[in-house]
């Protein structure tokens, strides 16, 4: 399957969640079995030789591919969620995003020192959520952290940088315009 075939299966929603934002909806990729297989296979191929022990999915669309990738890589799955959604003790990180501020949480026992962690989310825009996720995961002293997205929206200014030593990969690079 080509990049263009994946792109052709995206739903683009104008003015969501706010006027002026063009939302790339990956759920249309997930409902198509061939697209879902392609997304998961491409992600797994990128990290199959990295020794990944935990795959972290960022709420909520990040959960979908992250869980499938974790199963295929023989790794554990760890959710990063919005405040108050995880039932046990958590560690949190606050951050700015393109239309406000937010906080994310992870269970305090989710990652062990020395784990090799792949953080996955559907879309990289400003980088705020992903940057916060990297900061959160690094609190656990993992051996390595990788960051993966299905789509990198290349013309959105990044508000957050990623620390040195974090490999960032995306399956598709698209523009909002």
Tell me whether residue 20 is exposed, middle or buried, using C-beta atoms within 10 angstroms of its C-beta: 0 to 12, 13 to 18, 19 or more: exposed
Dump pLDDT digits (tens) for 61-99: 999 999 999 999 999 999 999 999 999 999 999 987 666
Number of domains in the chain: 1
Task: Report the alpha-carbon distance of residue 120 to residue 49 in Å, rounded.
Answer: 17
What is the residue whose two structure tokens read 């006027």? 19
pTM of the model: 0.95
Q: Which of 30, 38, 37 has its CA nearest to residue 4?
A: 38
Domain hosting residue 162, numbered range: 49-174
On whether residue 29 sits in a domain, the answer given is no
Catalytic site positions: 61, 98
**64 in a structural domain:** yes
Please tell me the distance from the alpha carbon of residue 87 to that of residue 127, in angstroms, as a whole number.
27
Asked if the structure places residue 136 within a domain, the reply is: yes
CA distance 177 to 160: 21
Q: Considering the domain boundaries, does residue 160 fall inside one?
A: yes
**Residue-averaged pLDDT of the chain:** 94
Cα dihedral 143, 124, 76, 95 sign: positive
Give a yes or no: residue 40 inside a domain.
no
Residue (of 60, 79, 171, 174) closest to 125 by Cα position: 174
In a domain, 33, yes or no: no
pLDDT tens digits, residue range 12-66? Answer: 999 998 888 889 999 999 999 999 999 999 999 999 999 999 999 999 999 999 9
10 lies in some domain: no
CATH number at residue 111: 3.40.50.2020
Whether 141 is in a domain gets the answer yes
């Amino acid at each position: 399957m080509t990049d263009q075939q994946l792109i052709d299966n995206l739903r683009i929603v104008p003015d969501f969640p706010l006027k002026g934002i063009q939302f790339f909806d990956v759920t249309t990729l997930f409902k198509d079995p061939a697209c879902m297989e392609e997304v998961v296979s491409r992600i797994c191929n990128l990290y199959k030789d990295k020794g990944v022990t935990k795959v972290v999915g960022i709420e909520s669309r990040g959960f979908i591919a992250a869980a499938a990738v974790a199963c295929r890589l023989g790794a554990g799955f760890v959710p990063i969620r919005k405040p108050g959604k995880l039932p046990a003790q958590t560690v949190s990180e606050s951050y700015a995003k393109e239309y406000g501020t937010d906080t994310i949480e992870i269970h305090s026992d989710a990652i062990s020192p020395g784990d090799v962690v792949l953080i996955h989310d559907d879309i990289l825009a400003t980088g705020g959520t992903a940057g916060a996720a990297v900061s959160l995961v690094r609190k656990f002293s993992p051996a390595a952290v990788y960051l993966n997205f299905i789509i990198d929206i290349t013309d959105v200014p990044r508000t957050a940088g990623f620390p040195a030593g974090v490999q960032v990969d995306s399956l598709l690079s698209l523009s909002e315009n």
